[in-house]
Amino acid sequence: KMTISFRVNPEYAKMSEIIPGLFICGVSSLTSEEIKKNKITHIINATTEVPNLRSLGDIQRTKLWLEDTPQTYIYPHLELQSDQIQAIIADGGKVLVHCVAGVSRSASICLAFLTKYR
Protein backbone atom coordinates (compact mmCIF):
# COMPACT_ATOMS: atom_id res chain seq x y z
CA LYS A 1 0.00 0.00 0.00
CA MET A 2 1.34 3.40 -1.00
CA THR A 3 1.01 6.35 1.37
CA ILE A 4 1.46 9.89 0.15
CA SER A 5 2.10 12.68 2.60
CA PHE A 6 1.65 16.32 1.61
CA ARG A 7 3.05 19.19 3.66
CA VAL A 8 0.99 22.15 2.64
CA ASN A 9 0.41 25.46 4.37
CA PRO A 10 -3.35 25.24 5.07
CA GLU A 11 -3.72 29.01 4.72
CA TYR A 12 -2.48 28.88 1.11
CA ALA A 13 -4.53 25.78 0.31
CA LYS A 14 -7.91 27.28 1.27
CA MET A 15 -10.55 27.40 -1.44
CA SER A 16 -10.77 30.94 -2.77
CA GLU A 17 -12.99 32.51 -5.40
CA ILE A 18 -10.70 34.51 -7.69
CA ILE A 19 -13.50 35.98 -9.81
CA PRO A 20 -17.16 34.94 -9.96
CA GLY A 21 -17.16 31.33 -11.16
CA LEU A 22 -13.42 30.61 -10.81
CA PHE A 23 -12.03 28.99 -7.66
CA ILE A 24 -8.57 27.77 -6.66
CA CYS A 25 -7.41 25.53 -3.82
CA GLY A 26 -4.93 22.99 -2.58
CA VAL A 27 -5.68 19.37 -1.81
CA SER A 28 -6.46 19.96 1.88
CA SER A 29 -9.53 22.05 0.92
CA LEU A 30 -10.74 19.54 -1.65
CA THR A 31 -13.80 18.30 0.22
CA SER A 32 -17.36 17.50 -0.81
CA GLU A 33 -18.54 20.14 1.68
CA GLU A 34 -16.50 22.87 -0.04
CA ILE A 35 -17.62 21.67 -3.48
CA LYS A 36 -21.30 21.81 -2.46
CA LYS A 37 -20.98 25.08 -0.53
CA ASN A 38 -19.44 26.84 -3.55
CA LYS A 39 -21.68 25.06 -6.12
CA ILE A 40 -18.69 23.85 -8.15
CA THR A 41 -19.73 22.27 -11.48
CA HIS A 42 -16.30 21.34 -12.89
CA ILE A 43 -12.92 20.47 -11.37
CA ILE A 44 -9.57 20.84 -13.12
CA ASN A 45 -7.07 18.58 -11.34
CA ALA A 46 -3.56 19.81 -12.23
CA THR A 47 -1.70 17.00 -10.42
CA THR A 48 -0.19 13.60 -10.92
CA GLU A 49 -0.30 12.97 -7.16
CA VAL A 50 -4.00 13.42 -6.41
CA PRO A 51 -6.59 11.07 -7.92
CA ASN A 52 -10.00 12.30 -9.06
CA LEU A 53 -11.78 11.57 -5.80
CA ARG A 54 -15.12 9.78 -6.06
CA SER A 55 -16.05 11.21 -2.67
CA LEU A 56 -16.48 14.63 -4.31
CA GLY A 57 -19.59 13.41 -6.10
CA ASP A 58 -20.72 13.15 -9.68
CA ILE A 59 -19.02 16.21 -11.10
CA GLN A 60 -17.27 16.91 -14.40
CA ARG A 61 -13.48 16.73 -14.14
CA THR A 62 -10.40 17.33 -16.20
CA LYS A 63 -7.16 15.60 -15.12
CA LEU A 64 -4.00 17.24 -16.47
CA TRP A 65 -1.28 14.93 -15.03
CA LEU A 66 1.16 17.80 -14.34
CA GLU A 67 4.15 17.06 -12.12
CA ASP A 68 5.29 19.66 -9.60
CA THR A 69 8.81 20.04 -10.97
CA PRO A 70 10.73 22.85 -12.67
CA GLN A 71 10.98 20.63 -15.76
CA THR A 72 7.21 20.28 -16.22
CA TYR A 73 6.14 21.99 -19.43
CA ILE A 74 2.75 23.47 -18.53
CA TYR A 75 2.52 25.89 -21.46
CA PRO A 76 0.63 23.57 -23.86
CA HIS A 77 -2.21 23.26 -21.31
CA LEU A 78 -2.68 26.96 -20.60
CA GLU A 79 -4.67 28.08 -23.64
CA LEU A 80 -6.90 25.00 -23.79
CA GLN A 81 -7.73 25.21 -20.08
CA SER A 82 -8.29 28.98 -20.30
CA ASP A 83 -10.78 28.41 -23.12
CA GLN A 84 -12.47 25.62 -21.15
CA ILE A 85 -12.78 27.82 -18.03
CA GLN A 86 -14.23 30.66 -20.11
CA ALA A 87 -16.81 28.36 -21.71
CA ILE A 88 -17.89 26.89 -18.36
CA ILE A 89 -18.24 30.29 -16.66
CA ALA A 90 -20.06 31.75 -19.70
CA ASP A 91 -22.51 28.84 -19.44
CA GLY A 92 -23.20 29.65 -15.78
CA GLY A 93 -20.90 26.98 -14.31
CA LYS A 94 -18.30 27.26 -11.57
CA VAL A 95 -14.78 25.90 -12.03
CA LEU A 96 -12.35 24.79 -9.35
CA VAL A 97 -8.69 24.49 -10.36
CA HIS A 98 -6.55 22.63 -7.85
CA CYS A 99 -3.09 21.19 -7.37
CA VAL A 100 -1.48 20.00 -4.15
CA ALA A 101 -0.67 23.34 -2.51
CA GLY A 102 -2.82 25.63 -4.64
CA VAL A 103 0.08 27.95 -5.43
CA SER A 104 1.94 26.79 -8.58
CA ARG A 105 0.25 24.58 -11.17
CA SER A 106 -3.30 25.68 -10.39
CA ALA A 107 -2.24 29.32 -10.07
CA SER A 108 -0.52 29.18 -13.48
CA ILE A 109 -3.73 27.96 -15.10
CA CYS A 110 -5.84 30.61 -13.37
CA LEU A 111 -3.38 33.36 -14.31
CA ALA A 112 -3.39 32.22 -17.94
CA PHE A 113 -7.19 32.45 -17.96
CA LEU A 114 -7.18 35.90 -16.34
CA THR A 115 -4.53 37.14 -18.78
CA LYS A 116 -6.46 35.92 -21.82
CA TYR A 117 -10.01 36.78 -20.81
CA ARG A 118 -9.88 39.55 -18.18
Active site residue ranges: 99
Put residue 78 in one of left, alpha, beta given phi > 0 → left and psi -120 to 50 → alpha: alpha
Would you say 40 and 95 are in contact if contact means Cβ atoms under 8 Å apart?
yes
Query: What is the C-alpha separation between 118 and 114, in angstroms, rounded?
Result: 5
Of the chain, the end-to-end C-alpha distance in Å amounts to 45
